[in-house]
Amino acid sequence: NPYSIILMDEIEKAHPDVLNILLQILDDGHVTDAHGRKVNFENTVIIMTSNAGSDKHTNSLGFNREPATVAKEHALKALSDFLRPEFLSRIDEIIVFQPLSEESLKKIAALMLNELKESLAQKNMDLLWDDSLINALVQKSIGGKFGARDLRHTVRKEIEDKVAELMVTYCERPIKSFNFSAHDQDITATVI
C-alpha cells in the first residue's frame, strides 16, 4: 500500500535540477535536503506523464508491425531525447496511451448526453436522441488532436447551446422534452 502518490504532469518541461532530484529518489529511495533532513520515498508511487512522441504519426512500415508497438517505439525514442538513459532505466513501467477509438467516443458521447439529460430532469424536462445523433457528434469530433475534449466541445456547441436557444425561444410555454436526431451530420432538434 503506497503511503503517498506523486503526480508530475508533462515531465519533459521539468527543470534539469528536478530530474536530478528524481533520479536520486528513484536510485536511493530517499532524498536529503540542505539541512540534513531525510525524506523517505519507500512507499511512494511516482507517476510522470509526458506528451513525448504524441506529435508523431504512427505509420508502420514493413513486416506487419502493430500500431501499438510502433507508437511505443516512437514514445521511447521521444523520451530518450530529453531523459538520460540512467533515468529511463530506473522507471518501472512506461505505458503508452492509444488515441480513442470511434466506439469509445460513441460511449463517451452517450455519457455526456446522459449528464445533460440528468441536468434537464431537475427542471422537469427530458432529452431524447437516437443513434444518428451520437454518430454525427463523433464524426464532427473525430480527427481532432484532443480526443474527448473535441467531443465535449462539439456536444456543447451542437446540443447544449441549442437547448439553451430553444429554452429562450419557447420561454412562454413549458417544455417537456428536446428531441435530437441527425442526418448526414446535420443535427436537428424539436421541442415538445
Q: Does residue 174 sit in the same domain as residue 138?
A: yes
Whether 84 is in a domain gets the answer: yes
CA-nearest of 162, 152, 153, 150 to 186 is: 162
| CATH code of the domain containing 44 | 3.40.50.300
Residue that wins the pLDDT comparison between 72 and 179 = 179
* Domain limit, last residue, from 88, 114, 144: 88
CA-CA distance, 37 to 141, in Å (whole number)? Answer: 51
Which letter does DSSP use for residue 22 in this model? H
CA-CA distance, 105 to 49, in Å (whole number)? Answer: 22
Which letter does DSSP use for residue 159 in this model? I
Which residues, in sequence order, are bridge partners of residue 179? 128, 190
Q: Is the pLDDT of residue 134 over 60?
A: yes
Give the pLDDT score at 173: 92
* pLDDT more than 90, % of the chain: 72
Task: Give the global pTM.
Answer: 0.72
21-63 pLDDT, tens digit per residue, is 999 999 999 999 889 999 999 889 999 999 887 776 555 455 5
CA-nearest of 116, 102, 121 to 163 is: 116
Q: Is the pLDDT of residue 2 over 70?
A: no
Whether 59 is in a domain gets the answer: yes
Counts for the chain of helices (H) and strands (E), in that order:
7, 7
Whether 93 is in a domain gets the answer: no
Q: Is 6 helix (H, G, I), strand (E, B) or coil?
A: strand
Give the pLDDT score at 59: 52
CA-CA distance, 161 to 180, in Å (whole number)? Answer: 13
Domain with 121 in it: 102-191
Give the pLDDT score at 70: 81
Return contacts of 11-17, CB within 8 angstroms, 24+ apart.
Answer: 11/48, 11/49, 11/50, 11/83, 12/50, 12/51, 12/52, 12/82
Residues 88-95 have a mean pLDDT of 92
| CATH code of the domain containing 143 | 1.10.8.60
Tally of residues, the chain = 192
Q: At what angle do helices 131-141 and 102-121 cross, to 10 degrees?
A: 120
Q: At what angle do helices 102-121 and 148-155 cross, to 10 degrees?
A: 40
Give the pLDDT score at 64: 55
Give the pLDDT score at 131: 96
Total domains, the chain: 2
Q: Please give the biggest Cα pair distance in the chain.
A: 72
